[in-house]
Amino acid sequence: MKKMISTALCAALLTGTVFAGLAGASSPASAAGSSSACPVDDHGLKLQGTKDTGAAHFQSIQFLSEKVGRAAGNGFMIGTSDAGCHWQKIYTGSYNFMQMQFLNNSIGYALAQTNPQQPNVLLRTANGGTSFKTVNTAGQRFERIQFHSISVGFGYTRAFTYKTTDAGQTWSKVPTPPNTRYAHFITPDKGWIVVLRSGGYEVKRTLDGGRTWSDKLSVNSAAVVGGAIYGTDSSDIWVLLYGESGMSQTSYSLYHTKDGGSHWKQMISNSTAGGGPAPGKATDKLPGPQGRPTDMQVIGSQAAFLAAGSGALDNISLGRSLNDGATWSNIKAVPGYEAKLSFTSAKNGWIAVTSSSKPAIYATRDSGKTWTKKITLPGEK
């Protein structure tokens, strides 16, 4: 079922050096020839995707440093140790990776499907992604994972939150209010949730691992669909709330607090003709990236990036704040309709996109102002 590569790549990942040559494949040096230029094609990987999910496309990306990163999708995981100039296979097989999170260069977790009709399985690797073992989830169907260390992590279903302190051997249910639809824990004890209510949303905070929750934000909304929470500091949080979707458009709002929810600033109010009014106070003076938000990443307490895409537009738009929410700007980024982000600093980041033509990974060195293509997959034939 799984096609394993030589251990040379694993060793390269563990050391963070340039990837060694794979069995049956050229090394990065030979692939690039004597030129230092970086290829932008498929790097000779010839990724096939899976029979159930079609042509190979990206669904997750994570850089651990300015040089070392991985990208994964339907039936594959690839890696780079030179900032995306060269890529090589780490894993090919039946796993359709929906999310991955590496704690270091060898140990990581992933959510993956074996076919589209089955729920995600939780996987763990101890060799950089070359092979995986299934992790017990006590029967829960996780849609997201969030690990704070090798042992301590959270698994999220549609409505509930579970915590492990022993690397997934056991799980305990975290107390959350009824109708909770999104949770995000900054530390094992400090977390935030989005709760659905009649006519809008409630955002709540815990400082004691979910034993008690305090009200922090209430937003009225004509449509109550769901939301998401992002942040790396328990007091500095970004909250994304959705309205309706229609005609390849999605209405949404983005809120930000710097003081643990005592004060909030509405950064985006993105009402659309197809999706109707955005949650909260509607104003056309706070537009966001066009399309439906597909990913957001916050770097420290200064930088935040939001990617949105639409199949009708086939263009990923990027929004950003580089001053902890004081100002917000929108940038036309790259072709595509789905995107995942991985920034290692406010300036350096990568975006993996699914496109109607060819999926690709791009890199930026100027906070998203310009992007350079690093790899392109063949896409649908």
Q: Are residues 130 and 180 in the same domain?
A: no
Q: Distance between the two ends of the chain, CA-based, in angstroms?
A: 25
Is 326 a member of any domain?
A: no
Is 155 a member of any domain?
A: no
Q: Are residues 109 and 179 in the same domain?
A: no
Q: Are residues 121 and 235 in the same domain?
A: no
Q: Are residues 10 and 98 in the same domain?
A: yes
- Angle (CA) 75-228-80 rounded to 5° is 35
Last residue of a domain, one of 256, 287, 318: 287
Is 244 a member of any domain?
A: yes
What type of residue sits at position 39? P
Separation between Cα atoms, residue 261 and residue 374, nearest integer Å: 39
Collect contacts of 19-28 with beta carbons under 8 A, ≥24 apart: 19/79, 19/80, 19/81, 19/86, 19/88, 22/88, 22/89, 25/88, 25/89, 28/82, 28/85, 28/86, 28/88
Helix intervals (H) in 257-367: none
Q: Are residues 119 and 230 in the same domain?
A: no
Structural domain of 21: 1-135
Separation between Cα atoms, residue 278 and residue 92, nearest integer Å: 41
Q: What is the pLDDT of residues 10-57, one digit of tens each?
A: 434 443 433 433 323 333 333 333 345 899 999 999 998 888 889 999
Domains in the chain: how many in total? Answer: 2
Residue 37's pLDDT is what? 87
Q: Tens place of pLDDT for every residue, the chain, 381 residues?
A: 333 333 334 434 443 433 433 323 333 333 333 345 899 999 999 998 888 889 999 999 999 999 999 999 999 999 999 999 999 999 999 999 999 999 999 999 999 998 888 899 999 999 999 999 999 999 999 999 999 999 999 999 999 999 999 999 999 999 999 999 999 999 999 999 999 999 999 999 999 999 999 999 999 999 999 999 999 999 999 999 999 999 888 999 999 999 999 999 999 999 999 999 999 998 999 999 999 999 999 999 899 999 999 878 788 999 999 999 999 999 988 999 999 999 999 999 999 999 877 999 999 999 999 999 999 999 765
Residue 381's pLDDT is what? 54
Last residue of a domain, one of 236, 271, 287: 287
Q: Are residues 7 and 76 in the same domain?
A: yes
Separation between Cα atoms, residue 340 and residue 348, nearest integer Å: 14
pTM, 2 dp: 0.90
Residue pair 304/321 in contact (Cβ under 8 Å)? The answer is: yes
Is 99 a member of any domain?
A: yes
Is 153 a member of any domain?
A: no
Is 92 a member of any domain?
A: yes
Do strands 265-270 and 292-299 pair parallel, antiparallel, or not at all (unpaired)? unpaired
Cα radius of gyration rounded to whole Å, the chain: 20
Specify which residues 183 forms β-bridges with. Answer: 193
Token readout for 136 is 């017990």
Is 364 a member of any domain?
A: no
Closest by alpha carbon to 295, among 272, 277, 324, 316? 316
Is 51 a member of any domain?
A: yes
Q: Are residues 116 and 189 in the same domain?
A: no
Q: Are residues 185 and 283 in the same domain?
A: yes
Last residue of a domain, one of 287, 303, 322: 287
Q: What is the pLDDT of residues 270-318, one digit of tens each?
A: 999 999 999 999 899 999 999 999 999 999 989 999 999 987 878 899 9
Q: Are residues 41 and 115 in the same domain?
A: yes
Residue pair 305/320 in contact (Cβ under 8 Å)? The answer is: yes
Q: Are residues 131 and 179 in the same domain?
A: no
Separation between Cα atoms, residue 381 and residue 366, nearest integer Å: 34
Q: Are residues 188 and 128 in the same domain?
A: no
Which residues 6+ apart lie within 8 Å of 59 measured at CB?
A: 72, 73, 74, 96, 97, 98, 99, 340, 352, 354
Q: Are residues 121 and 23 in the same domain?
A: yes
